[in-house]
Structure 1
Amino acid sequence: MRSETLINDQAIDSAFVEIESLGQFDAYVAAHSGSLAGCRIQGVDLRDRGWELRAGDVADSAFLGCLLSDSVAGDLRLRGALVFPPSPHLPFDPYRIALYTAEELYDGIADKPYEQTTDALAYHWDQLPLGREDVLGLVLRSLHDDSISDALDEWAAGHRIVGVMGGHSLERGTDGYRQAALLGRSLSRNGFTVATGGGPGAMEAANLGAYLAPHPDAALAEALDLLAAVPGYADVTAWARAAFTVRERFPVADSGVSLSVPTWFYGHEPPNPFATAVAKYFSNALREDVLLAHADSALVYLPGAAGTVQEVFQAATPAYYGSALARRMILVGVSYWTKVIPAWPLLRKLAEGRPMESGLHLVDTVAEAGILLSRP
């Protein structure tokens, strides 16, 4: 990307060019007389490009996790480049250029327990003193999360995203789980991209509905029956394997697209396997901001506890001050949001006389929420 910055009242052109493949590297070098000044080169194998790297201008450039010979890496540093070496001993790539997939996070789940998957190993690393307190661990987590944000920005372009928020404790086999799945399917069939917090419960159900949207209606009923055999995630291995049984029955290539934005902060909540793009973060605060920011079409709140309530008012705050995009906030469950967790009266009181008031809705069923979202 390229932007202008004012320094001493003068516009200074600041280039931040991202290069994420060898083809992009070669094309950029050819088009800019060998200069890499201001570039951010991420995760590229440059061991066969030593001559080009030694000959080009590398002022204000950064090499993030690129494969380089020791001599070329030293030369780049001497000439003003920042070089962040790969970290082969980590259970995650801090310089990744794409979002995760469920297959990647649950690699090998068919033959080994969840505790040995990429997802579980990354959580375990995050809990170690090196991951939480050491400055290197903090840097690596920040680099990873920044890479995920960058990849998510690219992925989200062109999607009409509706955020579906809800509790993680909703079990498979319940009517609430089925209703959340119907909502996800309805949204996807109406041209929206479902985005959730990526965990179990209502979040999994909404991603499941979107996943099965291109299939006949009977596919969802079949999937719900298969999943009901493992209602909760007390045994994550069994819970995940049931989900992958559904995915094998309905392959991802024939299924609908959806997004999840989970976090390793909640290590007890495994990511659900039905989102086709997974933006998983170490930082829960960043994850919350990113999820709400990308849900630019609407936010739908199913019954949930503290996390869901936090998401209600986290979205309400910028809307209250008039700094948010115009989008609808739909709370599903009249009794729940007025009596069990009475967030609705407070939300309405905050919105009185403000532009955000017209975007607030309280409905009793997911069908009503779907009808609201089908209207312009």
Structure 2
Amino acid sequence: MKARITADQHLLDSNRRSEWKQKDAWRTLRILSEFVDGFDTLSDIDRAVAVFGSARTKPETPGYALAEEVGAALAKEGFSVITGGGPGVMEAANKGAAEAGGESIGLGIELPFEQGLNGYVDIGLDFRYFFVRKTMFVKYAQAFIVLPGGFGTMDELFEALTLVQTKKVTQFPVVLLGTAYWGGLVDWLRGRMLEDGMVNPADVELMLVTDDVAEAVAHIVAGCNTKPGSGGDAAMPS
């Protein structure tokens, strides 16, 4: 199958500089329409948690079952579950939420190869631009749960941590689920990055690392129930 050219590629490709003056101004209208559509569709969401992880996780694996458990546990606590809408961990979390009677939301993205939204999404949106989609995740989720994944998962994780660190968002718990997978990264953050003075000690405590779904969800419930100005830190409790 031949890979198609996506809207993001058209927008960011420096080899298409000749198009910038003629076409980029018009592209802003398409970008604006994506923001308007996202805001309009998602504005009635009450409480939600975004679940991230690999699209390559297979249904027969423990990681898929874990994501299902996460989706169901969040739904039982009254949270809508937002994912990237694709297969793997995303599908499993949507499935868990839907089968537990919760609201299951998928925010898809145009990719060079067709992917589409999984069959467990109740409310679905497809975006052309990654940055619009990212805004929707942070705006409408009150927390992130991050399961093992690749570059896209890392991107969402570190964007969330940066927003919390810089106080662009407050009361935003971030949970890494899977100590065996995340342990090396966390050791490096607490070791090399902290020791070299690239972050502060409080920064490396902005995430909970656990294997326990109940602990992860309880951490999110506690963080979301802590109101700014009530004596809690602007980030989430460690």
State if a TM-score over 0.5 links the two structures.
Answer: yes
Deviations 1:306-338 (A, max 9, x none): 111111110111211222122211101111112
Distance 1:166 1:316 in 2: 16
2:177 is matched with: 332
**Is the contact between residue 309 and residue 343 of structure 1 (CA under 8 Å) also seen in structure 2?**
no
- 1 CA distance for matches of 2:215 and 2:75? 16
Cα-Cα RMSD? 3.0
1:126-275 pair list within 5 angstroms = 126=6, 135=23, 138=27, 141-156=30-45, 159-214=46-101, 256-265=102-111, 267-275=113-121
Other-structure match for 1:315: 160
- Structure 1 residue 161 displacement after superposition: 1.0
2 CA distance for matches of 1:352 and 1:288?
A: 27
Do structure 1's residue 305 and structure 2's residue 150 form an aligned pair? yes
Q: How many residues in Structure 1 have an aligned counterpart in Structure 2? A: 206
**Counterpart-to-counterpart distance in 1, 2:10 and 2:152:** 27
Do 1:263 and 1:282's aligned partners in 2 also have CA atoms closer than 8 Å? Answer: yes
- Identify if the C-alpha distance between structure 1 residues 321 and 188 changes in structure 2 by more than 3 Å, giving closer, same or farther: same
CA contact (8 A) 1:141 1:282 kept: no
Q: Which AA in structure 2 matches 1:295?
A: A
How much does 1:140 deviate?
5.9
The residue correspondences of 1:341-356 to structure 2 (distance < 5 A) are 342-343=185-186, 345-346=188-189, 349=194, 350=199, 352-353=201-202
The answer as to whether partners of 2:146 and 2:176 remain within 8 angstroms in 1 is yes
Residues in 1 aligned to 2:187 and 2:175: alpha-carbon distance in whole angstroms: 10
| Pairwise CA distance, 1:272 | 1.3
Considering Cα pairs closer than 8 Å and 6+ residues apart, tell me whether 1 or 2 has the greater RCO.
Answer: 2
Structure 1 distance, partners of 2:5, 2:180, is: 42
What secondary structure does 2:36 align onto?
A: helix
User: Which whole-Å deviations, capped at 9, do the CAs of 1:14-71 have from their partners, x for residues lacking one?
Assistant: xxxxxxxxxxxxxxxxxxxxxxxxxxxxxxxxxxxxxxxxxxxxxxxxxxxxxxxxxx
Could you say what secondary structure the match of 2:149 adopts?
Answer: coil
Give 1:361 shift: 0.5
Q: Normalization by structure 2: what TM-score?
A: 0.74
Deviation at 1:188, TM superposition (A): 0.3
TM-score norm. by structure 1 comes to: 0.49
Task: Report the CA distance between 1:288 and its aligned residue.
Answer: 1.7
Shift of 1:155: 3.1
Match of 1:284 in 2: 130
Unaligned runs of 5+ in 1: 1-114, 116-122, 215-255
Contact 1:182 1:206 in 2 (8 A): yes
Are the counterparts in 2 of residues 180 and 366 from structure 1 also a CA contact under 8 Å?
Answer: no
Confirm or deny: 8 A CA contact 1:170 1:177 kept in the other structure: yes
> Relative to structure 1, is the Cα distance of residues 130 and 292 closer, same or farther in structure 2, using a 3 angstrom cutoff?
closer
Deviation at 1:204?
0.7
Percent of aligned positions that are identical: 28
Deviations 1:127-166 (A, max 9, x none): 7x9999672873563244133223145233xx11111111
Structure 2 CA distance for aligned equivalents of residues 175 and 144 of structure 1: 39
Letter in 1 for 2:37: I
Structure 2 counterpart of 1:369: 216
User: Aligned in 2, Cα 1:345/1:181: closer, same or farther, shift over 3 Å?
Assistant: same
Work out the CA distance in 2 between the residues paired with 1:331 and 1:257: 22
In structure 2, relative to structure 1, the CA distance for the partners of 1:345 and 1:295 (3 Å cut) is: farther
Q: State the alpha-carbon separation in 2 of the partners of residues 266 and 291 from structure 1.
A: 22
